[in-house]
Amino acid sequence: MRFERRLRVPEFAKLVGYKPSTIRKKILRREIAYHKIGRIIAIPESEAEKLLRDFRPSIQSCQAKEEAE
């Protein structure tokens, strides 16, 4: 069984470059998976990779855009 590091909302927000309030909104809209431990919201570190992959453009698409201009 593999254990994954879990982050609190402020730590996760800093890691992905969003405000904590934005991360909480994404949690409410179920865009980010999380676990509740008592009152603490714990977000798996793998969710950062998913979030960045889904919401940030790839380097290749940015280069193609610059070449077209």
Residue 1 lies in a domain: no
Q: Look up the CATH number of the domain holding residue 32.
A: 1.10.1660
Residue 38 lies in a domain: yes
Structure confidence by residue, pLDDT tens digits, 6-34: 999 999 999 998 999 999 999 999 999 99
List residues bridging with 40 in a β-sheet.
37
Model pTM score: 0.71
Q: How confident is the model at residue 54 (pLDDT cuts 50, 70, 90)?
A: confident
Beta carbons within 8 Å of 57's beta carbon, 6+ residues apart: none
Residue 42 lies in a domain: yes
Dist CA 7 CA 21 (whole Å): 15
Q: Number of structural domains, the chain?
A: 1
Q: Is 44 exposed, middle or buried (0-12, 13-18, 19+ CB in 10 A)?
A: middle
- Full residue range of the structural domain in which residue 12 is found: 6-68
- Between the alpha carbon of residue 42 and those of residues 17, 20, 31, 63, the distances in Å are 17, 13, 14, 36
